[in-house]
Structure 1
Amino acid sequence: AAAYAIASCVGKEELSEDYIIPSVFNRKVGPAVAREVSRAAHRTKVARRTSRTYSEINLE
């Protein structure tokens, strides 16, 4: 889930031989990874938090 989230942070117009992984300074990466990992954990039933908790921390 994290790898797909990171990959989604690089748009097709940005993608090149020199730019395939977003910068560590890209502010979209952290929230995207958190959101997708939490969704994957919930979907696979390994999450320890409820859907209500997700909405409280804006991960939905």
Structure 2
Amino acid sequence: MEIVAILINGDATLKHFYRDVDSVTLASSNTKYKPMVYHKGDCDDIRILGKAVAYLHDLE
């Protein structure tokens, strides 16, 4: 699992990225949103912009 910056229908977002043999699943960290599954041939509306390599936050 990786976190990617992805463009979906013109909107940029961060998603958990899972690759299978013939599909890609994009999942939100917020569990109230269902994962999005794309198969070969229906990926024209998505574009991977990059991969998150670090997550920094305050522990306060």
More helix by share: 1
* Structure label with greater radius of gyration: 1
Fold conserved between structures, TM > 0.5: no
Higher strand share: 2
TM normalised by structure 2 equals 0.22
Could you tell me the TM-score, scaled by structure 1's length? 0.22
